[in-house]
Amino acid sequence: MILDQIVSKKYEELMNIKAPKRSLYDALSCDDISIIAEIKRASPSAGAIAEDVDAANRARQYEAGGARAISVVTERHFFKGDLKMLQLAKESSNLPILRKDFMFDELQIYESLFAGADAVLFIVSILKGNKLCDLVKLAQDLGMETLVEVHDEDELTEALKSDAKAIGFNNRDLKTMTVDMGRCESLIKAFRLLEPGSERKLVAESGVRTKEDVKRLQELGFDGILIGETLMRSSNPTNLLKELLGDTR
């Protein structure tokens, strides 16, 4: 019967959407440090960075340089991003794609899934009460992975109540926009005390500029580093990634 055939095809399509195809967790589980390379057109701290970036080409360049995952900032008004960039990055690379946006509603999780995100980022400071745990669960139930971002120890304590498999320590103070690399350093120490022997993966975020920064974060024990502006300002991000990773592999 034609209706059975239609439903069966629809089921197949839905299974494709739900399947966790590319794992950020696996990308962060290598022996050496992994770079999550970010596609970001603009930001409140930097203004316009690369508003006409070709997301497909950038994703290919990042993969060729040795990035193990790609973050796409999809926020429209302050970062000039959109979901089309995420779709293009997904289609033109084999890497897990993280949607970096400001997520506080269930609808945004479904939207991320349909756009092809493999993982979504949650910022603890904008989620109240049980919302973080609920959204992490929803994303994971739908087959996506989660990276939960914190800026201080109180937020870290909140993050650890969730089932997120990866925690991001952001060096950027979102009130003053200043970057302090020491933030990662103190937060990783706090994390080790709060959750000894944890299986969670740890990502350092923001303000990474040099191979010395990368080496330092590797020595501190981070599994991954999220790098945006430094890569976006480069006309040859493939070579820059190789250079940044040079001392680590």
What distance in Å separates the CA atoms of residue 117 and residue 74, rounded to the nearest whole number? 11
Q: Which is nearer to ligand LARABZUK, 44 or 246 (CB)?
A: 44
**For ligand LARABZUK, which is the closer residue by CB, 137 or 180?**
180
Closest distance to ligand LARABZUK from the beta carbon of 179 (Å):
6
CA dist list (Å): 43 to 165, 193, 216: 27, 34, 26
Both ends of the chain: CA-CA distance in Å?
A: 57
Question: Would the CA dihedral through 53, 54, 56, 62 be positive or negative?
Answer: negative
Report the nearest approach of ligand LARABZUK to the CB of residue 134 (Å): 22
Q: Which is nearer to ligand LARABZUK, 8 or 77 (CB)?
A: 77
Using CB atoms, what's the residue nearest to ligand LARABZUK? 228
Q: Which residues are part of the catalytic machinery? A: 38, 40, 100, 149, 170, 205-206
Q: Toward ligand LARABZUK, which CB reaches closer, 18 or 128?
A: 128
| DSSP summary character for residue 171 | -
By CB under 6 A, name the binding residues for ligand LARABZUK.
Answer: 38, 40, 43-45, 73, 170, 172, 174, 177, 205-208, 226-230
Alpha helices in the chain (DSSP H): 2-18, 24-27, 55-65, 83-92, 106-115, 131-141, 153-159, 182-194, 211-220, 229-232, 237-245
- We find the least distance from the C-beta atom of residue 245 to ligand LARABZUK, in angstroms, to be 15
Residues 6+ apart with CB under 8 A from 188: 169, 202, 220, 221, 222
SS3 153: helix
